[in-house]
């Protein structure tokens, strides 16, 4: 029989040794000083490093650091990096709040669309979905999400309806990501649930017509917004970040030349297309504008992929 202790020892001997060591707070402050960072108060820097963290704050100074020289750009102030961090926190809060409204409205619209089939248990019918393998994969996920749910209306159906869960209850407890996959797999065509759903998200075409989004277009919006929602929910940095998802934009909103990567701007447009009401969206855009203006001494529009006329594109 092999000796597990010996195996562990050998594993430890040959384990990769990471070349950098974690820095103490004082070493972190010294690294700022060595790299030319300016700050008003070491006490304030120490407080921020203890409550926010050196490596989280690092993400807000990438654009201010010269890798070749191993120095910050002359005049870089710690207080400005901290201000960017707090800007990003506020930005995340207002975006998450708006996405919550979008998500709730989308759930309502999907239920309304599925009830065109006049069957409370329609999700058990694979015939309304295109890809049967994807259907069963989605149903597996939905089953797990229902089983994990502690919502009272799920328990009610367990106790009173032989565990059968109607579509309006299912759609309330599945994740935003699962919701997106359901929509992506719906059959299309006149009279379909997808057609009814898409009626809620019409837009003006190049020919000045009010048209429904294609299924690929609508699901690209939902998937993109779902990714941004998760970033906000997990306190991920949004500012100065490439977001690897590609919502299909309406022609009038496309940037020329096409940017090399997607960022916040493209997903905000997807949010606009999915907005529940014009009034709620206008309030959001005004909050966003006020936040950007309040921090315009440190915020770079380019770092969020924003064009100079971004507000015009986001307005309705």
Between 196 and 207, where is the model more confident?
196
Q: In the predicted model, is pLDDT for residue 8 greater than 70?
A: no
Q: In the predicted model, is pLDDT for residue 260 greater than 80?
A: no
Q: In the predicted model, is pLDDT for residue 62 greater than 90?
A: no
Q: In the predicted model, is pLDDT for residue 307 greater than 80?
A: yes
Average pLDDT of the chain, as a whole number: 91
Q: In the chain, where are the structural domains located?
A: 22-76, 87-314
Band of residue 7 on the pLDDT scale cut at 50, 70, 90: low
Lowest mean pLDDT across 156-170, 188-202, 245-259, 268-282: 245-259
Give dist(CA 163, CA 44) in Å, integer. 56
What three-state secondary structure class fits 210?
strand
Give dist(CA 159, CA 302) in Å, integer. 55
Residues whose CB is less than 8 angstroms from the CB of residue 49 and which lie 6 or more positions away in sequence, other chains included: 25, 28, 29, 57
Q: Counting every residue, how long is the chain?
A: 316
High-pLDDT (> 90) share of the chain, %: 76
Supply the pLDDT for residue 63: 87
Q: In the predicted model, is pLDDT for residue 1 greater than 90?
A: no
Supply the pLDDT for residue 6: 54
Identify whether the C-beta of residue 286 lies closer than 8 Å to the C-beta of residue 241: no
| Report for 55-59, 108-112, 159-163, 247-251: range of highest mean pLDDT | 108-112
Please spell the DSSP secondary structure of 225-248, one letter per residue: HHHHHHHHHTT---TT--------
The DSSP call for residue 199 is G
Its pTM stands at 0.89
Q: In the predicted model, is pLDDT for residue 12 greater than 60?
A: no
pLDDT tens, residue by residue, 20-51: 788 899 999 999 999 999 999 999 999 999 99
Task: Enter the tokens of residue 72.
Answer: 């910050």
Identify whether the C-beta of residue 297 lies closer than 8 Å to the C-beta of residue 268: no
Give dist(CA 238, CA 201) in Å, integer. 26
Give dist(CA 219, CA 47) in Å, integer. 43
Band of residue 215 on the pLDDT scale cut at 50, 70, 90: very high
């Amino acid at each position: 029989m092999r000796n597990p202790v010996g195996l562990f020892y050998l594993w430890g001997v040959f384990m990769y040794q990471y070349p950098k060591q974690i820095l103490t707070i004082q070493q972190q402050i010294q690294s700022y000083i060595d790299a030319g960072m300016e700050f008003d108060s070491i006490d304030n820097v120490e407080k921020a490093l203890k409550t926010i963290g050196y490596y989280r704050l690092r993400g807000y100074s990438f654009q201010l650091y010269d890798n070749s020289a191993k120095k910050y750009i002359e005049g870089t102030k710690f207080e400005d990096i901290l201000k960017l961090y707090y800007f990003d926190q506020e930005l995340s809060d207002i975006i998450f709040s708006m996405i919550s409204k979008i998500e709730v409205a989308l759930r309502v619209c999907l239920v309304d669309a599925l009830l065109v089939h006049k069957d409370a248990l329609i999700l058990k019918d694979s015939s309304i979905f295109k890809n049967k393998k994807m259907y069963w994969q989605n149903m597996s996920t939905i089953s797990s999400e229902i089983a994990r749910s502690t919502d009272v209306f799920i328990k009610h159906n367990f106790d009173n309806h032989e565990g059968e869960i109607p579509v309006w209850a299912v759609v309330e407890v599945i994740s935003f990501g699962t919701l997106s996959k359901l929509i992506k797999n719906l059959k299309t065509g006149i009279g379909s649930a997808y057609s009814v759903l898409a009626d809620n998200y019409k837009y003006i075409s190049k020919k000045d017509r009010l048209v429904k989004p294609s299924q690929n277009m609508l699901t690209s919006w939902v998937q993109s917004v779902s990714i941004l929602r998760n970033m906000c929910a997990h306190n991920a940095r949004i500012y100065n970040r490439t977001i690897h998802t590609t919502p299909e934009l309406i022609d009038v909103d496309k940037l020329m030349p096409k940017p090399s990567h997607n960022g916040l701007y493209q997903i905000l447009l997807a949010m606009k297309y999915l907005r529940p009401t014009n009034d709620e969206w206008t309030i959001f855009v005004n909050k966003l504008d006020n936040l950007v203006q309040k921090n315009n001494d440190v915020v770079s529009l380019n770092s969020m992929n924003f064009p100079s006329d971004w507000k015009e594109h986001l307005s309705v």
